[in-house]
Every structure is written in C-alpha cells, then in structure tokens.
Amino acid sequence: MSESGKRILVIGATGQIGSEITLELRRRYGKDNVVASWHKKGLSEQLESGPVEHLDATDCQSIKKILSEYSIDTVYHLAAILSAVGEKNPQLAWNVNMSSLYNVLEASREKGGMKVFWPSSIAVFGRGAPRFNTPQDAVLIPSTIYGVTKASGELLCNYYATRFNLDVRSVRYPGIISSETMPGGGTTDYAVEIFYEAIKNKRYSCFVRKDTVLPMMYMPDCTKAAVQIMEADPSDIHCRMAYNVTAMSFSAEELAAEIKKHIKGFEVDYEPDFRQMIADSWPMSLDDDLAREHWGWKPDFNLTTIVVDMIAKLKRKLRA
Ligand SMILES: NC(=O)c1ccc[n+]([C@@H]2O[C@H](COP(=O)([O-])OP(=O)(O)OC[C@H]3O[C@@H](n4cnc5c(N)ncnc54)[C@H](O)[C@@H]3O)[C@@H](O)[C@H]2O)c1
C-alpha cells in the first residue's frame, strides 16, 4: 500500500488517455497500487509494469470482483466508444458507454468509500449552445449518440453524487493531442494524425475543413486535469455534472501552419467527410472559469509548445 493509501483501478487503460494516465498514476501512487484493465486491445510492455486485469466493463460482476480482490478505493473509468465510431454503430455506443458507467457507479455505491473519475466531453453540446466560449451551464442537446451518452452520463453521475453521496468527479474534455497511443475513433483525431503524416510522408489529407476550429488540450494537461480534480478537497467540488476544461482553440489550418514551421515542404489538403458535421455541432471554444475558480484548473501547454513537444517525441518514436 502506498503512503497515500490509494488503490486505483483504471478501466480503458489501453486507450489514448488511459495508456498515459495509468503511467502517471503509477508514478504518483506506486506501480503496485494501480491496476490497468484491458479489453480486446492488448497491453503495451509499459502497462505490464504493474498489476493488470482483463475486464469487460459491461459486466458488473467482473468490476465488483476486481474492486474487492484489490481493495480498490478509486476508479478512473475511461472505457468508451468515441464519436466517429459511435455514429457508425450507435447501439454499441449506447450499450458500452451507458452500461459501463452504470456498472462502475453501482459497484462503487455498493462497495462504499469509493471515488470515481469519469470524463465527459465537449460532445455534450449541440443545438442551442453558443459555439464561442460555451458556458458551463449551456443547454445540452448533443447531435451524436456519443454526446447523448455523455450528457446522460453526466446526469447519472450527478444523481449518484446527490442521492447516494458517491464521490464522482468529471470534466468535459476537448480534443486531446498525444504522442503515446493513437486516438480511438473520435472527431478530433485529425489533430493527432497530422503529426504522424507530417513526419512520415510530409503530406496529410485532413477530414475536416481548414477553417474548422475546435477546443484542444495536450496530454500532460489532460492527465493533470484528471489528477487535480481527483485530489481536490471535496469542499471545492461544487459541480457534480462535469466541469468545462480547455487549454486552447485553433483551426485545422492554424495547426498545419505551426507544424510547417518545423517540417519544411509539409503539404495538407482538406477532404471533409461525415466527421465535419459532428465538428460543426461542437463548441469552437469553452468557458472553463468555473474549474479554474473551484479547484484551480490551469493548463500549461499552448499550440506552439505542443507542436515542438509532439514533433520531438514522435521523431524519437518513429525514428525519423
Ligand atoms: N481522446 C479524446 O480526445 C477525448 C475527448 C473527450 C473525452 N474523452 C473521453 O475520455 C475517455 C477515454 O478516451 P480515449 O480517447 O482514451 O478513448 P480510446 O478509444 O482511445 O480508448 C477507450 C478504451 O476503452 C476500452 N473499452 C472499450 N469497450 C470496453 C469494454 N466493454 N470494457 C472495458 N473496456 C472497454 C478500449 O479497449 C480502450 O482501451 C472516454 O470516456 C472518452 O469519451 C476523450
């Protein structure tokens, strides 16, 4: 047991965010205190550095068994079907996203003394919400099944927090940019793919228009937000739906221009597909004042520093 006494289960540990949050949690709380659970997608060597379990989060009994066997007191529930994949199979997205969240909340309520982190998304916003500087309490009428599961999930978390006093905390992440694991089928995947293609082929065909502006965040800030809200004093958490958090907003063309400063001859063309409609229904920027005020949220990275760091990391990874 670590000094902090935490025993953590990460569900969805092999995903874009889970693969990096798991390692950060192991650095912070000790590798033996963080169980990485996987489903279908195999574990990397790095994730094998601590306890691992196979887990289908749609099976509540399996979650309860792991909570009990490892004396878990904290769950980071990151398993989900993302926006683009969800639009191709809405039934699967509803089933995985809703049943896994319900199971985690129910297993945690039953066990008692549990803390849960579950990320929501900017996909909760749609028709009727201002697209610029979208406020915390803007109306939630999502356009995708993914957004519907996130908006419903927020309500469910709020219900468990108020009805059963379960300590569940959440943030609405924007698009996440990272170098470790490829994104899993969301609408902001272009903001990661563009780096790989710039380094490997000096060409990228972008699936949204060049003037598409979305809020974004770099992975170190993404893990920081999760750890920070989970470490915050309970008296500082006044919102049990999900807090808006963001770092910056830029257009696809602005991202390409920043990458071109480092990779001479890099060319981008724009061929919007079905994901354009999803992007057009989401906020272009977010108002995250409440998170800043309540638990001190503040990002470290901007577009310039992300691009420098991503290119350095990917050049090493791809041996370019
Ligand atoms: N990546 C982003 O840009 C972004 C933005 C906003 C919110 N989020 C949210 O953050 C969380 C993590 O996202 P991500 O980008 O890492 O997603 P991802 O698609 O990369 O990973 C999802 C993980 O869920 C696992 N999974 C799928 N079905 C499962 C099941 N039945 N049981 C157990 N595990 C299962 C997959 O194996 C995978 O490891 C999700 O809730 C997502 O909605 C992500």
> Which ligand 1 atom is nearest residue 176's CA?
3
Neighbours of 237 (CB within 10 A): 18
The best mutation among 10, 16, 54 to test binding of ligand 1, ranked by most ligand atoms within 8 Å of the C-beta, falls on: 16
Average pLDDT of the residues of the chain: 97
Q: Which of 17, 77, 214, 245 to mutate to test the pocket of ligand 1 (most atoms within 8 A of CB)?
A: 17
Q: Residue 263 gets which letter from DSSP?
A: S
Q: What are the pLDDT digits (tens) for 203-259?
A: 999 999 999 999 999 999 999 999 999 999 999 999 999 999 999 999 999 999 999
The residues annotated with a catalytic role in the active site are 146
Give yes or no for residue 3 having a pLDDT over 90: no
Q: Which amino acid is at 213?
A: V
User: pLDDT for 137-155, tens place per residue?
Assistant: 999 999 999 999 999 999 9
Backbone φ and ψ of 225, nearest 5°: -60, -45
Distance CA 20, CA 163 (A): 32
Beta strand 167-169 pairing with 115-117: parallel
| DSSP secondary structure letters along 140-199 | ---SSHHHHHHHHHHHHHHHHHHHH--EEE-EEE-EEE-SSS---S-TTTHHHHHHHHHH
The DSSP code sequence of 94-108 is: HHHHHHHHHHHHHHH
CA of 12 to the centre of ligand 1 (A): 6
- Give me the sign of the Cα torsion angle 69, 70, 76, 82: negative
Q: Is CATH 3.30.1560 the right assignment for the domain spanning 176-216+248-284+301-317?
A: no
Place of tokens 């949220």: 297
Looking at the chain, which residues constitute the CATH 3.90.25 domain(s)?
176-216+248-284+301-317
Question: What is the CA(14)–ligand 1 centre distance, in A?
Answer: 8
Which is nearest to 119 in space by CA: 250, 42, 219? 219
Q: What is the value of pTM for the model shown?
A: 0.97
Ligand 1 centre to CA of 82 (Å) is 7
Q: Does 320 have pLDDT greater than 80?
A: no
Q: Which tens digit of pLDDT belongs to each residue from 16-47? A: 999 999 999 999 999 999 999 999 988 999 99
3-state secondary structure of 257: helix
Q: Which of 39, 63, 82 to mutate to test the pocket of ligand 1 (most atoms within 8 A of CB)?
A: 82
Q: Indicate if ligand 1 lies below 6 Å from the C-beta of 11.
A: yes
What percentage of the chain exceeds 70 in pLDDT?
A: 99
CA 243 – CA 241 distance, rounded (Å): 7
Asked if residue 40 has its Cβ within 6 Å of ligand 1, the reply is yes
Determine how β-strand 8-11 pairs with β-strand 203-206: unpaired
**Ligand 1, atom 11: nearest CA belongs to which residue?**
78
Among 3.30.365.10, 3.20.80.10, 3.40.50.720, 3.40.50.300, what is the CATH number of 8-174+218-244?
A: 3.40.50.720
3-class SS of residue 251: strand
Among 21, 239, 214, which Cα is nearest to 125's? 214
Would the CB of 226 count as within 6 Å of ligand 1?
A: no
pLDDT of residue 4: 56
Cβ of 51 below 6 Å from ligand 1: no
Cβ(39) to ligand 1 under 6 A?
yes
* Residue 1 confidence (pLDDT) above 90: no
pLDDT recorded at residue 42: 86
Q: Write the pLDDT tens digit of every residue in 162-179.
A: 999 999 999 999 999 999
Does residue 170's CB lie within 6 angstroms of at least one atom of ligand 1?
Answer: no
- Say what the pLDDT of residue 105 is: 98
Q: What is the 3-state secondary structure (H, E, C) of 193-246?
A: HHHHHHHHHCEEEECCCCCCEEEEEEHHHHHHHHHHHHHCCHHHCCCCCCEECC
Find out whether the beta carbon of 103 lies less than 6 Å from any atom of ligand 1. Answer: no
Which tokens hold the place of 135? 């406020």
172 pocket-lining for ligand 1 (C-beta < 6 Å): no
- Give the ligand 1 atom nearest the CA of 96: 31
Task: Judge whether residue 2 has pLDDT over 80.
Answer: no
Q: Are strands 213-218 and 248-251 parallel, antiparallel or unpaired?
A: antiparallel
User: Can you tell me which residue has the tokens 């696809």?
Assistant: 252
60 lines ligand 1 (CB under 6 A): no
Supply the residue whose CA is at minimum distance from atom 42 of ligand 1. 80
pLDDT of residue 23: 97
